[in-house]
A = this chain, B = another copy of it.
Amino acid sequence: MTNNSFYLFFPADFSNGELCKNAEAAKAEDFYFSGLDATRETDNRVGSTITLLSTNQIPGLDGLSLARTDYAPNGGLNPPHIHPHATEILTLLRGILHVGFITSSPENRLITKTLHPGDVFVFPIGLIHYQLNTANNSALAINSFSSKNPGVITIANAIFGSHPPHNREILAKAFQLNTDTINFLQQRFKGNQ
Q: Is there a chain B Cβ closer than 8 Å to A73's Cβ?
A: no
Contacts of A188 in B (CB 8 A): 176
Which of the listed residues A26, A31, A36, A48 has the most CB atoms from chain B within 10 Å of its own CB?
A: A31
**Once the chains bind, are A152 and B185 in contact (CB under 8 Å)?**
no
Instruction: Assign chain A's interface to a size class.
Output: 35 or more
Q: Which residue of B lies closest to A164 (CB)?
A: B110
**Once the chains bind, are B98 and A167 in contact (CB under 8 Å)?**
yes
**Once the chains bind, are B6 and A50 in contact (CB under 8 Å)?**
yes
Given known contacts A126-B84, A130-B174, is B104 in contact with A33 (CB within 8 Å)?
no
Instruction: List, sorted by A's number, 14 A–B pairs whose CB atoms are closer than 8 Å.
Output: A8-B106, A9-B84, A23-B103, A24-B107, A31-B124, A37-B118, A58-B120, A60-B124, A82-B126, A105-B157, A110-B166, A130-B170, A144-B144, A176-B189
Contacts of A52 in B (CB 8 A): 5-7
- B-contact bits for A142-161, CB 8 A (1 contact / 0 none): 10111001111111111111
Q: Is there a chain B Cβ closer than 8 Å to A181's Cβ?
A: yes
Indicate which residue in B3, B31, B89 contacts A193 across the interface (CB closer than 8 Å): B3
**Once the chains bind, are B166 and A176 in contact (CB under 8 Å)?**
no
Docked pose: A177 CA to B169 CA in angstroms: 18
Contacts of A105 in B (CB 8 A): 3-4, 6, 8-9, 81, 152-154, 157-158, 193
